[in-house]
Each structure stands twice: as structure tokens, then as C-alpha cells.
């Protein structure tokens, strides 16, 4: 990277995208470009955010527009474009529409930033990763889905509320697809190093797991006119930070599996080590029979979506 600043491009200037730009700039991860089909909206939000920099004290250049040439030589691109969920819609209802959008965006990204790492946020997440991987032509190391960080953040938030403990002292993660088949891993949850199973009853833990699984729908139900954006954007930016700062963070992400956990050729949520190259390795975890079964169910649900994609003309 030499002496130049890192560059993060965010595709889609809606709530998730513009909030990604906000977190990235406030962390001074680098210069930020916001791209949207409505170029003026992207330019306006970038300018507004830049005008907060003297108050907040961050030095990031922010520009926005509809022209992908602005994204040239990005280090990380966060893809949030697509239609959001409305009440009563499942993530999967978005399949055909968002596949078309994600395909076009990924092709443009690859054209201008052939070495970027692409973080996919668009829903249905696991299927959209497949679209982005194919359309960009990137290796699997450089197309990673953001789902597990968000689901784990929700899980950790709920555990913190229940145990009245600082969120910083809670380690938890989830596996599997993003949605109804996610696989929370209570066996591996600790509160300040103490296993959660020693602190809460099975019923309490099951209730927290259930709330985590429905976390996105809970917020859609409350907002009525849109879906979550603070936690999803913060989660995407945590991944971007791990890559840009080469932090080697182990985070739950949607990764294209090539035999890990017995799954081949499919995006699924697992623990992933993220650094400058993008996905640096997939640390393997021993799953018990119940976890294996849930993980396989989750993989099957993703496979169904991918099979549905193959039938679509997008």
C-alpha cells in the first residue's frame, strides 16, 4: 500500500451503505467512496459526512456518485446494494431482483479494483456471495459474506442484557446460513471466560438463541418500513478493518467452503481468519453430533437457494 491511504468503497448508499461509510470514516480506515444508482444521493451523503470530520476529528476523504471509476484501486469494497426486506418478506423473496443487482455491481467492482476484497452484505446473503464470486471472477479469499459477525453481535448483546455483564467480556459466535437455519454455538460461549452453561439455565440459553435467530425480523417488525442498519454496517466495517489493518481477526463469516466441515462448493457461515489477503484460513472447530446436524441443515438450505439461482435468468 506504500504511503497512500487505504481506500474503501461502499456500493449502495441506503441506510446500511451510508452507515458503513460513517463507521469506516470515524475509524479512519482510509478514504471512503459511496456509490449508488442515485449518484446525487451518494454525493450528498458523502459530503454531509465529510463536513462532520472537523467536529469528529477524522481525516478521511469522502466522495460519492454513480460512476464506478471513483472506486478505482479500492482495497476493500462493501457491497450493500439491493432491495431491503419489508415486513412479511423472507430474505429469500429477494433472490431474483438482488441477484441481478449484485451481478452488475460485482462486475463493475472487479473492472476498477481487480485486487480488492469484496464484502457482501446484500440479502439473501449466502446466495448473493455465489453471485458475487461468479461475477467478479475473484478467488474465494476475496469474496466474503457478512452475516456471522452481525448474528454473533446480536447473540452477544442479548447475553450481555441477560447476565448484566459488559458486552466486551462476552465471546460468542454463530455458524451456518444467515436466517432461520443459523447455528448458534452456546457450547463455545463464555462470559469473562466462564462457560455460559454455568451461568444460565438451558431454557434461558434456548430463549436467547431463538431471539438471535429472529433478530433481523424483530427489528423489521419494529421499524415497519425497513430493516436493521446500525449493527449490520458496524459488522461489515469490523471485517473491513481486519483486512485493511491486517489484524488476523478470527470472525464468523460466510466463506466459500472447499471441503471444510464436509461441505464443498458452497458459502456457509464458519469461523474465518481475516487479514490483508482477505480470507487467510478457516480454523476448524470440532462439532458435536447435534451441531453437525444443524450445520448440514443450514448448508442444505443455502444449497436450495443456489439451485434456485441456477434456474433464474439474471
Please answer whether residues 159 and 196 qualify as being in contact, where contact means their C-beta atoms are separated by less than 8 angstroms: yes
Instruction: Give the SS3 label for residue 85.
Output: coil
Cα distance between residue 70 and residue 27, in whole Å = 21
Long-range contacts of 216-223 (CB under 8 A, 24+ apart): 216/85, 216/91, 216/179, 220/85, 220/86, 220/87, 221/87
Q: Which of 70, 72, 74 is nearest to 36 (CA)?
A: 70
Phi and psi at residue 116, to the nearest 5°: -70, 160
| 22: annotated active-site residue | no
Task: Check if the beta carbon of residue 78 is closer than 8 Å to that of residue 142.
Answer: no
Give counts: helices (H), strands (E), the chain.
Answer: 10, 14
Q: How far apart are CA 41 and CA 207, in angstroms?
A: 41
Of 178, 182, 184, 274, catalytic = 178
Q: State the burial class of residue 164 (Cβ atoms within 10 Å of its Cβ: 0-12, 13-18, 19+).
A: exposed
Residues serving a catalytic function are 178
Amino acid at each position: 500500500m506504500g504511503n497512500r491511504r487505504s481506500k474503501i468503497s461502499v456500493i449502495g448508499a441506503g441506510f446500511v451503505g451510508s452507515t458503513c461509510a460513517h463507521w469506516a470514516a470515524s475509524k479512519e480506515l482510509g478514504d471512503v467512496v459511496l456509490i449508488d444508482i442515485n449518484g446525487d444521493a451518494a454525493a450528498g451523503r458523502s459530503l454531509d459526512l465529510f463536513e462532520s470530520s472537523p467536529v469528529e476529528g477524522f481525516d478521511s476523504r469522502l466522495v460519492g456518485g454513480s460512476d464506478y471509476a471513483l472506486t478505482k484501486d479500492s482495497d476493500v469494497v462493501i457491497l450493500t446494494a439491493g432491495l431491503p426486506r419489508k415486513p412479511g418478506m423472507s430474505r429469500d423473496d429477494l433472490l431474483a431482483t438482488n441477484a441481478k443487482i449484485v451481478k452488475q455491481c460485482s462486475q463493475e467492482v472487479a473492472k476498477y479494483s481487480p485486487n480488492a476484497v469484496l464484502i457482501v452484505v446484500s440479502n439473501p446473503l449466502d446466495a448473493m456471495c455465489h453471485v458475487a464470486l461468479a461475477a467478479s471472477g475473484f478467488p474465494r479469499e476475496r469474496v466474503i459474506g457478512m452475516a456471522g459477525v452481525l448474528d454473533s453481535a446480536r447473540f452477544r448483546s442479548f447475553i450481555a442484557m441477560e447476565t448484566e455483564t459488559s458486552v466486551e467480556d462476552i465471546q460468542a459466535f454463530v455458524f451456518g446460513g444467515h436466517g432461520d437455519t443459523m447455528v448458534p454455538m452456546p457450547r463455545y460461549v463464555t462470559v469473562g471466560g466462564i462457560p455460559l452453561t454455568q451461568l444460565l439455565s438451558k431454557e434461558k440459553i434456548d430463549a436467547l438463541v431463538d431471539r438471535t435467530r429472529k433478530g433481523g425480523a424483530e427489528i423489521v417488525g419494529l421499524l415497519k418500513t425497513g430493516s436493521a442498519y446500525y449493527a449490520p454496517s458496524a459488522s461489515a466495517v469490523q471485517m473491513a478493518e481486519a483486512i485493511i489493518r491486517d489484524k488476523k481477526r478470527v470472525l464468523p463469516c460466510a466463506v466459500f467452503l472447499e471441503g471444510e466441515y464436509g461441505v464443498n462448493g458452497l458459502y456457509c457461515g464458519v469461523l474465518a481468519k481475516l487479514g490483508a489477503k482477505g480470507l487467510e484460513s478457516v480454523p476448524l472447530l470440532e462439532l458435536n453430533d447435534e451441531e453437525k446436524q444443524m450445520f448440514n441443515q443450514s448448508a442444505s438450505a443455502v444449497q436450495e437457494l443456489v439451485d434456485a439461482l441456477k434456474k433464474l435468468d439474471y
